[in-house]
Each structure stands twice: as structure tokens, then as C-alpha cells.
């Protein structure tokens, strides 16, 4: 599911596909050749007709060119979840930015677009919340 960039306006990038129209919120990967990063992730925000989509870049669009190839991933942006991510710092696409170890490929990943948990799934018990700030606690 290859496409090509047809317009770049700051963080907004228009992409055209041949015979395929990615879903809203689908991730699109762009392979970069500059030294700052190896890829850029775009997220489909709107369908603008004629197999074209308007996307939002999840990082800087510096160096993107009209006609540059990109690939639809077939799904939304997914980030790691669970015990492996506790205490870690991640960017919007789930890459660690805290100079720690890379998260295992086996770690579960969830879409960044999810429904809120139902009230039955949420805890309603009263408990102390320790902030670590003496005056507040």
C-alpha cells in the first residue's frame, strides 16, 4: 500500500495512494534519508478525495519532498503498555526517549485511539494517593 507525498504544509502532509484509501487514524510510514531520524510517522486525519488523504506528522517535516514514497501500515499508531513501560518516557509513537533500554518486541501494544474503560472496569475504592511532597501528603 504505497503512496506518495503531494503536498507539505508545516505538520500537515497530503498523501496520494493508487487504488487504496487508508482509514482515518491509520498510520503511514515515511522513510527518511536525513541524519536526524530514520522514519516519520503520519496519521490520517481526513479523506480529501481522489484517493488522497490529509495527514498530521508526528515529528518535524523538514526534508520531506513532493513525490516521496510512503507506506500505509494498515492500522493505527500503537504504543507499548504494561509493566515494561512503568517509569519510562515515550514519544507520541511509542519510542523510548529516556535513554533506557528498548522495550521488548513482545511487550503488548495498544492503539492510541481507544474507548474509555467502562465504569465497571474502573476502581471506585477510596485510597490514599501519596505524592511524595510532605506538605501535600
Identify whether 128 is part of a domain.
no
Based on the fold, state whether residues 6 and 70 are members of the same structural domain: yes
Same domain, 12 and 69: yes
User: CA–CA separation, 77 vs 96, rounded Å?
Assistant: 15
Q: Is 88 inside a domain boundary?
A: yes
Strands (E), the chain: 2-9, 12-17, 26-31, 39-49, 52-57, 69-76, 78-80, 109-111
DSSP 24: T
- Residue span of the structural domain in which 14 resides: 2-74
Q: Which of 71, 80, 72 is nearest to 106 (CA)?
A: 80
φ, ψ for residue 119, nearest 5 deg: -60, -30
Q: Are residues 36 and 82 in the same domain?
A: no
**Domain co-membership, 85 together with 110:** yes
- Residue in the block written with cell 506528522: 57
Domain annotation covers residue 52: yes
DSSP state of 96: B
Query: What percent of the chain lies above the pLDDT cut of 70?
Result: 98
Cell numbers representing residue 112 in the block: 492510541
Where among 74, 101, 128 does a domain terminate? 74
Mean pLDDT estimate for the chain = 90
- φ/ψ of residue 127, rounded to 5: -150, 155
pLDDT digits (tens, 9 = 90+) for 94-109: 889 988 888 888 889 9
Taking residues 4-13, report their average pLDDT: 96
Instruction: For the full predicted model, state whether its pTM sits above 0.75.
Output: yes
- Please indicate, yes or no, if residue 120 is contained in any of the structural domains: no
Do 49 and 97 belong together in one domain? no
Residue 86 lies in a domain: yes
Residue where a domain stops, chosen among 23, 52, 74: 74
Same domain membership, residue 54 and residue 7: yes
Using the predicted structure, report yes or no on whether residue 35 has a pLDDT greater than 70.
Answer: no
If one counts the domains in the chain, the total is 2
Q: 84 near 104, Cβ under 8 Å?
A: yes
Which of helix, strand or coil describes residue 110?
Answer: strand
Amino acid at each position: 500500500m504505497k503512496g506518495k507525498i503531494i503536498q507539505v504544509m508545516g505538520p500537515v502532509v497530503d498523501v496520494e495512494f493508487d487504488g487504496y484509501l487508508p482509514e482515518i487514524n491509520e498510520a503511514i510510514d515515511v522513510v527518511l534519508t536525513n541524519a536526524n531520524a530514520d522514519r516519520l510517522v503520519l496519521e490520517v486525519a481526513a479523506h480529501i478525495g481522489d484517493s488522497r488523504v490529509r495527514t498530521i506528522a508526528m515529528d518535524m517535516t523538514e526534508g520531506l519532498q513532493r513525490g516521496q514514497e510512503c507506506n500505509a501500515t494498515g492500522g493505527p499508531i500503537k504504543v507499548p503498555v504494561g509493566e515494561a513501560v512503568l517509569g519510562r518516557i515515550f514519544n507520541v509513537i511509542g519510542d523510548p526517549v529516556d535513554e533506557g533500554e528498548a522495550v521488548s518486541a513482545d511487550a503488548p501494544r495498544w492503539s492510541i485511539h481507544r474507548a474509555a474503560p467502562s465504569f465497571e472496569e474502573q476502581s471506585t475504592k477510596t485510597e490514599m494517593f501519596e505524592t511524595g511532597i510532605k506538605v501535600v501528603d
